[in-house]
Structure 1
């Protein structure tokens, strides 16, 4: 019987050690995985959205406009920036860099787009902002009111921005604007009673 108790004790100890080891490895992986999965890049030049949207009271659509067919033009061309900034209107080094290195020579700024979608995705901003009256903040958070651009993080496997998945790997306790996956779009559609077939969003 003593031998049986000894064997049982050893099994219990082995189970405890295995469980503790697994918990430690899981925690280590949980912390290390996002760092291994994502890389960060700095934008070519910093940009103060707040100076435009808060201080100058401009709308997002003042720079991020729609084409004639209602599709979203996305990042503004330097030609658009040059309408107000043919010369620096402030004293910041960032504005001087934009004017000297991009606007004056007519060179487009190679922005890293946080919300770039997969090439098989078709998303109409006008349908959402004009017809459904959804605010830009619903998907982009307070990005339009920031004074500085955060690093652009991308997935080393897919190449897509971390903003598509969201900052949380588990996707738990996230804000409505944290994530632009199909599940997020479908959840919003269900909340609003909007119906869309596959070809409405996919090429």
Structure 2
């Protein structure tokens, strides 16, 4: 894969407060440049949710109500997040979830496209028993020693997903082939279905 042919891609991950629909508590956006995650220009934000973090969510990501008490509200950081995301492509694991939550919080935001490493992994590694991020980290043997924070924090998960995307990209010759395998139908960037030939 020639990474210089890629448009701007940001790997994103969000963590929520455990309610339905969720309030955001953490957002990370990590650019991929020249086939590497660019941590020097990444963005990461903690935000105090409007509703309290549930005990279950706090156990998963470790972000408690006490930890977030002094974090800014979403309205204080929304413009920063929107500015970094811009009109770039985004990538996430099980991307429709992250896209839907971000879109709900940033209604004016419209990415160029949405890559899903879950969908891409099923095309790239058919026959695996599991396609969770943990299972794929183990299958691909990703080196995550440089990853920030820990698993289930947005910064760690975005870094792991970026490394997974880069590893899988080597299985495709072109950006268009990658897009065809990685973009879920109905999300931005999905290839247009070919029209059926007609007699008229």
The answer to whether the superposition gives a TM-score over 0.5 is: no
TM-score of the aligned structures, taking structure 2 as reference length: 0.26
> Which structure shows the higher strand fraction?
2
TM-score, scaled relative to structure 1: 0.26
From the CA coordinates, give the structure whose radius of gyration is larger.
1
Greater helix proportion? 1
